[in-house]
């Protein structure tokens, strides 16, 4: 489908709140004017949930909970399979929305409905396989002891904006498969993907109140996490907000899943496959215009190849086309909004003035894209590991290159941040790689360009990168709790 055909076929879905199956187009929190980040043009007025609407959504989820948790696991499985198929049916529409909503190139968003289906079907497949176990041992004459897997209840989900459908994929399927009901709160500047998903959930036959949508900001988030009827919080976002949530829910001893930021190191050794390492090291940090938590934005290169490797990386970065996200040829789109653009330009300017590294490429606004929230792909060389640029997440198209002399120094630099989400290795030396896997302080280690965030594998971090896991059996376990039953035999 070409850009012109897509533009005439699709429109943005109605941005509204979905509470107990009802669409609300007005709310107490006011409205947000949604701006296309690629053009600067107003696209829609988005109703913002206030505390009143959040309470109503939790009411609906609590009301739907007894019926949903008692629904046959096989039925829950089949409904989630149907939802997955409907999302696949709407692949082109989700791609079009993603390009308009957050500025991600349409060719990149096109792969995400397939990821949503894979994650959701994987979780759905476990719905009728969440078995308890018999604790009693042979000739345990006193008690028949066993366990049951039960849903938590109402889950409050606060999802991020950088990959709206992927963020929902990592949470919604496991929670519903386990028998929980859900209230989703996306941010006000990415409301459209979630709105379409809720439409498809209704079409799939998921009962009213099982899945609710309250688009909003801090007021909605606070009302959601503090309500006593929300049994668990699942949050993706920044560390500052996570800390506030943790402090707010601590008096309730409420559990939470946190998927937060990162400053992932990408270790490239002299024996790496040069072509694979260059392509991965140049392109992967700039995916989503660098707005990804696990992207390898710290490029650590063995000193003996650093100069040649850096030249090749910059040539690869230079080959990427920045422009209209609706264009099939575009590799890099804008950042999410103009506030993010301003923040990133200030961060880059400060890093340059502070001497955090040597600015070799980019660092400004592209002249041919003045109307959008674009930031040039930026490369700093010889970044000081202890500097702000070497330590803190930019969340934009910025690559920080750091040379290292040997394996020990590479590990020391890689582990010297407060984050621990991802670590990357490029090396042909398998014994070295296996040794590094144990030494790197990270929840995920990705070797030689392997895929990340696969539906059957756990994803999550250490330290300021969060707590808990999404994906695989571990991700499903986040949405169940274990009940022990002991029955006296006499």
Cα 458-459-462 angle, rounded to 5 deg: 115
Q: Which two tokens stand for residue 488?
A: 């006296």
Q: How far apart are the two ends of the chain, measured CA to CA in Å? A: 71
Give residue for tokens 């959504």.
Answer: 57
- Look at residue 251 and give its three-state secondary structure: helix
Q: What is the 3-state secondary structure (H, E, C) of 66-130?
A: HHHHCCCHHHHHHHHHHHHHHHHHCHHHHHHHHHHHCCCCHHHHCCHHHHHHHHHHHHHHCCCCC
- Look at residue 256 and give its three-state secondary structure: strand
Measured on CA atoms in the order 77, 78, 82, 83, is the torsion positive or negative? negative
Are 314 and 346 a contacting pair, CB within 8 Å? Answer: no
Q: Examine the residue annotation and report whether 293 is marked as an active-site residue of this protein.
A: yes
d(CA 389, CA 351): 6
Of the residues 53, 293, 394, 478, only one is catalytic, namely: 293
Cα 176-179-185 angle, rounded to 5 deg: 45
What single-letter DSSP state applies at residue 292?
-
Q: Examine the residue annotation and report whether 394 is marked as an active-site residue of this protein.
A: no
| Beta-carbon contacts of residue 291 (< 8 Å; ≥ 6 apart) | 162, 335, 336, 340, 395, 396
d(CA 103, CA 168): 18
* Residues with catalytic function: 259, 293
């Amino acid at each position: 489908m070409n850009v012109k055909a897509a533009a005439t076929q699709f429109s943005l879905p109605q941005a509204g709140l979905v509470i107990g199956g009802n669409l609300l187009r007005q709310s107490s929190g006011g409205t947000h004017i949604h701006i296309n980040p690629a053009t600067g043009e107003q696209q829609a007025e988005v109703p913002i949930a206030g505390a009143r609407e959040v309470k109503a959504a939790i009411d609906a989820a609590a009301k739907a909970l007894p019926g949903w948790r008692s629904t046959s696991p096989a039925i829950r499985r089949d409904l989630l399979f149907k939802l997955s198929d409907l999302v696949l049916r709407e692949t082109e529409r989700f791609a079009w929305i993603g390009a308009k909503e957050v500025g991600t190139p349409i060719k990149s968003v096109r792969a995400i409905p397939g990821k949503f289906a894979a994650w959701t079907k994987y979780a759905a497949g476990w719905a009728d396989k969440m078995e308890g176990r018999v604790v009693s041992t042979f000739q345990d004459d006193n008690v028949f002891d066993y366990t049951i897997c039960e849903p938590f209840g109402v889950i409050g989900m606060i999802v991020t904006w950088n990959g709206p459908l992927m963020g929902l994929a990592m949470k919604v399927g496991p929670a519903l498969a386990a028998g929980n009901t859900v209230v989703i709160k996306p941010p006000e500047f990415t409301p459209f993907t979630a709105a379409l998903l809720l439409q498809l959930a209704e079409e799939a036959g998921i009962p009213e109140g099982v899945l609710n949508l309250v688009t909003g900001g801090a007021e909605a988030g606070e009302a959601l996490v503090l309500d006593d009827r929300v049994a668990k919080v699942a949050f993706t976002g920044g560390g500052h907000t996570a800390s506030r949530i943790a402090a707010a829910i601590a008096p309730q001893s409420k559990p939470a899943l946190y998927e937060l930021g990162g400053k992932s190191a990408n270790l490239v050794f002299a024996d790496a496959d040069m072509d694979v390492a260059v392509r991965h090291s140049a392109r992967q940090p700039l995916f989503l215009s660098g707005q990804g938590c696990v992207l390898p934005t710290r490029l650590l290169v063995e000193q003996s190849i650093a100069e040649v490797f850096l030249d090749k990386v910059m040539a690869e970065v230079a080959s990427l086309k920045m422009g209209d996200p609706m264009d099939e040829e575009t590799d890099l789109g804008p950042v999410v909004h103009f506030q993010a653009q301003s923040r990133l330009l200030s961060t880059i300017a400060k890093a340059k003035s502070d001497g955090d590294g040597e600015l070799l490429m980019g660092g400004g606004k592209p002249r041919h894209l003045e109307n959008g929230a674009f930031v040039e792909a930026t490369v700093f060389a010889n970044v000081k590991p202890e500097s702000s640029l070497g330590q803190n997440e930019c969340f934009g198209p910025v690559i920080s290159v750091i040379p290292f002399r040997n394996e020990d120094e590479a590990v020391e630099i890689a582990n010297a941040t407060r984050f621990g989400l991802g670590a990357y290795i490029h090396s042909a030396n398998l014994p070295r790689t296996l040794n590094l896997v144990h030494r790197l302080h990270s929840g995920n280690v990705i070797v030689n360009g392997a895929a990340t965030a696969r539906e059957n594998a756990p994803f999550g971090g250490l330290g300021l990168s969060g707590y808990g896991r999404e994906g695989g059996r571990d991700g499903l376990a986040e949405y169940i709790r274990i009940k022990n039953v002991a029955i006296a035999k006499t």
